[in-house]
Chains A and B, each alone.
Chain A
């Protein structure tokens, strides 16, 4: 009877051990599966982020920009898309603490490194796009100042000189009052110098005109012609600065996406 009892007790222990072993094994396999899923998901999350970002930028790029309103809408949309990319980029490489220790393994480390590289490149792209948006906003502000109708009228006749002088004076004040933005500094500096010179030249011309002084008038006329030539310098500087930013952004786009 005692022998039978011992045998049954032993068998129960075996079953318990076997059951516990099975549970532990199941947990182990579950954890391994979860780990694989997590690390694969990290890579897939990066790919999906890349695809979504490309789509959003592509949609903005294909927006029409013929009229001033369309240009403005496109800048606003780009601004919003960049903010969205920045937000979605945050936590791109976040992974559960239960598996994060696995970076000690080569394949997990590779997945983490790849994701962090993507996060780094996408951050650089966001910075670049941010600079472009700021540049475009500043450029639009300067364009609005220079779109004064009095600057577009024919000034060959003396009757138009006073209005033109007044318009350039107002433009000089407005350009000086523009907010300072590092990304637009070079273009703004050139624009300010050129517009200021045009304002000065027009004032000199009107003074000589009122005094009917031929030599002073000729001198002011020469200064004015030279000052108008400066508008080309604004264009060249603006073009160079913008192209540099676009080239940089394209390179970062290629690296990140």
Chain B
């Protein structure tokens, strides 16, 4: 807004059209109102998680895909194979697991999209030079569960008070996760739940044990799910 100078009035008799316009510049409220920040609110963390879960659930209802797998063993297997089959199936189709992507896992007699193997520990390296005898592994279409881990989890897991059933959930989800297209992840921050793709048997990095994929892990390059 323009401010009319009244200097000329001192000696002149002519009157300005708006002699009191100089009052406009004294106002401070317009500037105070302009300075107030009105940013759009970002969705809080809990809402993002709820939305992701809802999206996953919607995919389950509208776009369920079936993934088939067969079960086999390698080496001398002393564990209860029927129990292995039943518990692996439960884990894979659990509502807390990869099934949240809208995927149903179905065991078939042979072949299938991948092969779930219960392997004697010493035989695990036979699948790939990248596999060791200590932990479970994934090599190509093979999702290999180390029999020693299946039967006894790991010392760190046990010393932290984790149950064997939860360890079995975790190891099946982790190795299947590799087949789905996931690499290893690190702990997102101290005190948070560990991503299922973190190597929790080796180092928790400050995270808490977690047997199930996080919402952020619900994707699969293998199945084309984003």
A146 near B42: Cβ-Cβ < 8 Å: no
CA distance A74 to B30 in the complex (A): 17
A61 near B37: Cβ-Cβ < 8 Å: no
Q: Does A127 contact B (CB under 8 A)?
A: no
Q: Does B66 contact A (CB under 8 A)?
A: no
Q: Does A246 contact B (CB under 8 A)?
A: yes
Q: Does A107 contact B (CB under 8 A)?
A: no
Q: Does B86 contact A (CB under 8 A)?
A: no
Q: Does A240 contact B (CB under 8 A)?
A: no
Stretch binding the partner chain, chosen from A7-15, A21-29, A230-238: A230-238
A146 near B7: Cβ-Cβ < 8 Å: no
Closest Cβ of chain A to B79, distance in Å, is 41
Stretch binding the partner chain, chosen from B44-52, B94-102, B107-115, B148-156: B44-52
Q: Does B222 contact A (CB under 8 A)?
A: no
Which residues of chain A come closer than 8 Å to B38, judged between CB atoms?
A: 228, 231
The interface size of chain A toward B, counting residues with CB under 8 Å, comes to 54
B26 near A147: Cβ-Cβ < 8 Å: no
Closest Cβ of chain B to A162, distance in Å, is 12
Q: Is the interface of A mostly helix, strand, loop or mixed?
A: helix
CA distance A83 to B10 in the complex (A): 20
Q: Does A55 contact B (CB under 8 A)?
A: yes
Query: What band does the interface of chain B fall in when counting residues whose beta carbon is under 8 Å from A?
Result: 35 or more
Q: Does A68 contact B (CB under 8 A)?
A: yes
CA distance A143 to B31 in the complex (A): 8
Closest Cβ of chain B to A246, distance in Å, is 6
Q: Does B9 contact A (CB under 8 A)?
A: yes
B6 near A62: Cβ-Cβ < 8 Å: yes
Interface string of B26-42 (1 = CB under 8 A from A): 11111111011111111
Cβ 8 A contact of B50, one of A139, A212, A224, A249: A212
Q: A57-B6, A158-B45 are in contact. Are A153 and B37 (CB under 8 A)?
A: yes
Q: Does A242 contact B (CB under 8 A)?
A: yes
CA distance A62 to B7 in the complex (A): 7
Q: Does B20 contact A (CB under 8 A)?
A: yes
Closest Cβ of chain A to B122, distance in Å, is 49
B45 near A57: Cβ-Cβ < 8 Å: no
Interface string of A113-124 (1 = CB under 8 A from B): 000000000000
